[in-house]
Chain A
């Protein structure tokens, strides 16, 4: 058989349809008789709904229905979208609802749905639905929200604190008492929305015969959609199928089940028709999740050599109006702080505040960018305060290779202990320093400064938890035609995982990956699934598919041995043919084997082999696996305009064994670009009343080709020890250390001014201000 498909840069199987315009995204689906919908959304950050009058809208030709809470309520088991973790305790008032009963708490919150012949007519009708609002005071900034006299985000709440928690280990009190140095840091961290170029969308195909529906959703979790609809409408699984067409990117924005999806489904059930909702970009700005704001106040204790003794402090997280998923962002952010460093003592008090803004859940990186930013800013601060190299302070604090496996003093979200089971952080750092010619930078910098140019270099490390369980199904099946198919609950959304899975499977059968069909994201073919987030699918689904492929291969060999009347040891499998070693004419094809195993009346079945040439595996990872990375960035700062140009970007990345380096690099580069956006461009603005002020791509800037440099990637492969493929997740690796590395470089460039950067993103005007402020001080 052809060895070594794993690790080769197979060109993607997904590309052909996408390059020729024959792919099928959700808006490409047309169902006969389908209506389109639009949503009446609150224009106010906070208001009571006094009344809704839809009679004028209903008179518009082409309008079929206008439904508000009162209409949909009889269908709902509860006005609640089930949270990720049913045991999580938090303020009742922030529970995610399907739609507003009598109070709206952010701009964009849904008040009613309009069904019409077309989206054009539905939007016409929106202006005719009269909603009488009583405007209430609102809170926009999460720091203001927790003040005792702040207006309430939800009018019946006693305060605006959703929850509080502490992440800690060791004894900070003693550490700080014995420290040689203590330094303080205040940080404001902001991340906008995921902004996949395809917005959200759903087509509900009403199934009159079954009184059920198929939800074609552009989602990161088809099973989550199915399960939620089952729960919310009290249906059984036979009446609800969720399936994903091609998905035009996710990045967290499509991770949850949204009110729009539920309301459109409810409207379809109520009106007994198919319904399409395709989000426009303004709706994405108003009502798709964001990650938004965190305010950190921390202090660090070190010994005389700059070694960390402790970090302690507090953080306020902006949860938005509703708790749509849980506390993943602030929780992960707090867990990410230690990163690849030996941190003996740690204490962070987190306050999660509700605000009159759309809810926050993880965007690509999921809190890891924030925790990493905090730690890496601390590293730079310590280096500068102690007059030490920014590389040296990191080297001194890294967990050394001989400390791996390194038991983390932190508990994971499920309460289990975790460990860095593999990796070599000092080696990665060294590779990055060598690969970027870090040591010689001061020379280049001095020369540039002589020429009046401000250039700087910065670096940052990170670790990222990947491969979160519990599992993802892999079903491998060979039909009588000989076609190999893989079914999985994992969710493709542009990453190229179908190609990676085809490689994993094809590897066992000696066939071209193009001969393997991967069908994913359809509750009709795989009963269980978790979804695409947290850099988890290559680990979970990849391992399941690998193991299922081995099982099917073994089954095929056993059956062929029976058919050819030889022993299994005498057989070889290549190109989809099983033949007797040295006697190639004595062979059976996988198709023959599949036919034999599908049974025929009156013919004997091969003994000891269960029917069907297929296997299902739900691989359970024995633990999490951590990837790590080092980014080194060079920038040129124009002190006249505040413009930052990234002139070089080197990444060392350890995502364990790579299935397809081409795809892995695509993930890393895309992640870095996202990180550049978070650092320099992407700002989701709200005014003090809670009105969003950046609602187009002209105001909210995504990185474009001229501002993203070529990314130089150096792989470091330490195979994971907790899954059979040795893989670690890679989907979020690129984004995490980008912001601190870039800020470090900008500070380095502006060292003559003594500028310190303590927030993301940083715009040219802000940079000019910082330069002026620093100059005024000197």
Chain B
């Protein structure tokens, strides 16, 4: 095999990640995940399978979840991206999902957590008042090997409650 053209093709892209604009020169074959992690230093997004099944790499691209292992950085040119680093509010206060995950022991090794948080941010925007089977269904695209999901399900339900009535503390 000789050097494939994809290996050397480069392009300049501009992405806004967690509100901050970055101009980067990337190989066209660079995945969005590797761009975020290794070019922009945002290592909170994790890679668990690199083939689109585990969901660990999930980020929000223009508000919609995307598997950053399956997306090329150049495809994100011009996009607004949110990663786990940008979920908390600007003053550093945790997102209700983050608080609920801590409260309900919804993580162990925490390697799957970033992708689950970003997936659930989108899910709760679409369905602010889910029941347990709906939460489990929404989680079906994220694999967690450690927790058995129970704490995650409870946390998402609790976060949904907190988001619906922001002044109320955990109702668990």
The reply to whether B98 and A496 contact each other, CB–CB distance below 8 Å, is: no
The answer for the CA separation of A415 and B38 in the assembled complex, in Å, is 51
The reply to whether B109 and A281 contact each other, CB–CB distance below 8 Å, is: no
The reply to whether A697 and B54 contact each other, CB–CB distance below 8 Å, is: yes
Name the B residues within 8 Å of A24 (CB-CB): 43
Interface segment out of the listed A86-94, A131-139, A556-564, A699-707 = A699-707
- In this assembly, does B127 line the interface, its C-beta being within 8 Å of a C-beta of chain A? no
Query: How many residues of B sit at the interface, in one of the four size bands?
Result: 35 or more
Would you give the 0/1 interface string for A647-666, flagging 1 where the beta carbon is closer than 8 Å to chain B? Answer: 00000000000000011011
- What's the least CB distance linking B151 to chain A, in Å? 7
- In this assembly, does A28 line the interface, its C-beta being within 8 Å of a C-beta of chain B? yes
Interface segment out of the listed B60-68, B72-80, B81-89, B158-166 = B81-89
- In this assembly, does B44 line the interface, its C-beta being within 8 Å of a C-beta of chain A? yes
- In this assembly, does B32 line the interface, its C-beta being within 8 Å of a C-beta of chain A? no
Name the A residues within 8 Å of B121 (CB-CB): none
- In this assembly, does A151 line the interface, its C-beta being within 8 Å of a C-beta of chain B? no
- In this assembly, does A298 line the interface, its C-beta being within 8 Å of a C-beta of chain B? no
- What's the least CB distance linking A5 to chain B, in Å? 17
Would you give the 0/1 interface string for A188-230, flagging 1 where the beta carbon is closer than 8 Å to chain B? Answer: 0000001111110000000000000000000000000000000
Name the B residues within 8 Å of A711 (CB-CB): 148, 150
Q: A21-B43, A711-B150 are in contact. Are A281 and B48 (CB under 8 A)?
A: yes
- What's the least CB distance linking B19 to chain A, in Å? 15
State which of A27, A61, A496, A734 has its C-beta within 8 Å of the C-beta of B108.
A496
- What's the least CB distance linking A469 to chain B, in Å? 25
- What's the least CB distance linking B93 to chain A, in Å? 11
Q: Among B1, B49, B84, B148, which residue has the most Cβ atoms of chain A within 10 A? A: B148
Name the A residues within 8 Å of B54 (CB-CB): 197, 281, 697
The answer for the CA separation of A577 and B52 in the assembled complex, in Å, is 53
Q: Among A195, A496, A704, which residue has the most Cβ atoms of chain B within 10 A? A: A704
Q: A19-B110, A128-B1, A704-B143 are in contact. Are A697 and B149 (CB under 8 A)?
A: no
The answer for the CA separation of A12 and B148 in the assembled complex, in Å, is 17
The reply to whether A706 and B136 contact each other, CB–CB distance below 8 Å, is: yes
- In this assembly, does A11 line the interface, its C-beta being within 8 Å of a C-beta of chain B? yes
The reply to whether A15 and B107 contact each other, CB–CB distance below 8 Å, is: yes
The reply to whether B143 and A12 contact each other, CB–CB distance below 8 Å, is: no
Name the B residues within 8 Å of A671 (CB-CB): 148
- In this assembly, does A246 line the interface, its C-beta being within 8 Å of a C-beta of chain B? yes
- In this assembly, does B125 line the interface, its C-beta being within 8 Å of a C-beta of chain A? no
Name the B residues within 8 Å of A19 (CB-CB): 84, 94, 98, 101-102, 107, 110, 113, 117
Would you give the 0/1 interface string for B117-143, flagging 1 where the beta carbon is closer than 8 Å to chain A? Answer: 100000000000000010111011011
Would you give the 0/1 interface string for A476-512, flagging 1 where the beta carbon is closer than 8 Å to chain B? Answer: 0000000000000000011110000000000000000
The answer for the CA separation of A246 and B108 in the assembled complex, in Å, is 11
- In this assembly, does A710 line the interface, its C-beta being within 8 Å of a C-beta of chain B? yes
Name the A residues within 8 Å of B103 (CB-CB): 11
Nearest opposing residue in chain B for A364, CB measure: B145
The reply to whether A249 and B43 contact each other, CB–CB distance below 8 Å, is: no
The reply to whether B7 and A120 contact each other, CB–CB distance below 8 Å, is: yes
State which of A25, A28, A662, A734 has its C-beta within 8 Å of the C-beta of B105.
A662
- In this assembly, does A23 line the interface, its C-beta being within 8 Å of a C-beta of chain B? yes
The answer for the CA separation of A513 and B83 in the assembled complex, in Å, is 30
The reply to whether A494 and B108 contact each other, CB–CB distance below 8 Å, is: yes
The reply to whether A249 and B146 contact each other, CB–CB distance below 8 Å, is: yes
The answer for the CA separation of A30 and B44 in the assembled complex, in Å, is 14
The reply to whether A669 and B150 contact each other, CB–CB distance below 8 Å, is: yes
- Interface residues of chain A, those whose CB is within 8 Å of chain B, are 11-12, 14-25, 27-28, 30, 60-61, 120-121, 124, 127-128, 194-199, 246-249, 251, 280-282, 493-496, 662-663, 665-666, 669-674, 696-698, 702-706, 708, 710-711, 734
The reply to whether B150 and A281 contact each other, CB–CB distance below 8 Å, is: no
The answer for the CA separation of A18 and B137 in the assembled complex, in Å, is 24
Add 14 more A-B contacts to A248-B46, A697-B54, A710-B150 (CB < 8 A): A15-B107, A124-B3, A197-B54, A197-B112, A494-B146, A666-B146, A670-B146, A697-B49, A697-B53, A703-B148, A705-B135, A705-B136, A705-B152, A711-B148
- What's the least CB distance linking A668 to chain B, in Å? 8
Q: A11-B102, A20-B88, A22-B44 are in contact. Are A705 and B139 (CB under 8 A)?
A: yes
The reply to whether A20 and B110 contact each other, CB–CB distance below 8 Å, is: no
State which of A22, A248, A704 has its C-beta within 8 Å of the C-beta of B111.
A248
The answer for the CA separation of A671 and B145 in the assembled complex, in Å, is 9
The reply to whether A197 and B98 contact each other, CB–CB distance below 8 Å, is: no
The reply to whether A120 and B107 contact each other, CB–CB distance below 8 Å, is: no
The reply to whether B46 and A25 contact each other, CB–CB distance below 8 Å, is: yes
The answer for the CA separation of A195 and B143 in the assembled complex, in Å, is 11
State which of B51, B85, B144 has its C-beta within 8 Å of the C-beta of A698.
B51
The answer for the CA separation of A704 and B133 in the assembled complex, in Å, is 12
The answer for the CA separation of A494 and B110 in the assembled complex, in Å, is 7
The reply to whether B147 and A704 contact each other, CB–CB distance below 8 Å, is: no
Nearest opposing residue in chain B for A663, CB measure: B105
Q: A27-B37, A696-B53 are in contact. Are A20 and B84 (CB under 8 A)?
A: yes
The answer for the CA separation of A60 and B108 in the assembled complex, in Å, is 42
Name the B residues within 8 Å of A666 (CB-CB): 105, 108, 146-147, 151
The reply to whether B113 and A670 contact each other, CB–CB distance below 8 Å, is: no
Name the B residues within 8 Å of A663 (CB-CB): 105
- In this assembly, does B15 line the interface, its C-beta being within 8 Å of a C-beta of chain A? no
The reply to whether A25 and B113 contact each other, CB–CB distance below 8 Å, is: no
The reply to whether B3 and A493 contact each other, CB–CB distance below 8 Å, is: no
The reply to whether B27 and A21 contact each other, CB–CB distance below 8 Å, is: no
Nearest opposing residue in chain A for B51, CB measure: A696
The answer for the CA separation of A19 and B92 in the assembled complex, in Å, is 12
Name the A residues within 8 Å of B43 (CB-CB): 21, 24-25, 27-28
State which of A11, A495, A697, A702 has its C-beta within 8 Å of the C-beta of B51.
A697
Name the A residues within 8 Å of B108 (CB-CB): 249, 494-496, 666, 670
Nearest opposing residue in chain A for B102, CB measure: A15
The reply to whether A697 and B150 contact each other, CB–CB distance below 8 Å, is: no
Q: A705-B140, A708-B149 are in contact. Are A197 and B48 (CB under 8 A)?
A: yes
The reply to whether A198 and B46 contact each other, CB–CB distance below 8 Å, is: yes
Name the B residues within 8 Å of A21 (CB-CB): 42-45, 83-85, 114
The reply to whether B49 and A281 contact each other, CB–CB distance below 8 Å, is: yes
The answer for the CA separation of A571 and B113 in the assembled complex, in Å, is 46
Nearest opposing residue in chain B for A697, CB measure: B53
- What's the least CB distance linking B4 to chain A, in Å? 8
The answer for the CA separation of A248 and B110 in the assembled complex, in Å, is 7
The reply to whether B50 and A251 contact each other, CB–CB distance below 8 Å, is: no
Name the A residues within 8 Å of B56 (CB-CB): 197
- What's the least CB distance linking A706 to chain B, in Å? 5
- What's the least CB distance linking B143 to chain A, in Å? 5
Can you list 9 A-B contacts (CB < 8 A)?
A11-B102, A12-B105, A15-B101, A124-B7, A251-B145, A494-B109, A669-B148, A697-B53, A698-B53
The answer for the CA separation of A195 and B49 in the assembled complex, in Å, is 10
- What's the least CB distance linking A445 to chain B, in Å? 24
Q: A21-B43, A247-B109, A669-B147 are in contact. Are A127 and B101 (CB under 8 A)?
A: no
B residues 12-39 in Cβ contact with A at 8 Å: 27, 29-30, 37-38
The answer for the CA separation of A670 and B108 in the assembled complex, in Å, is 9
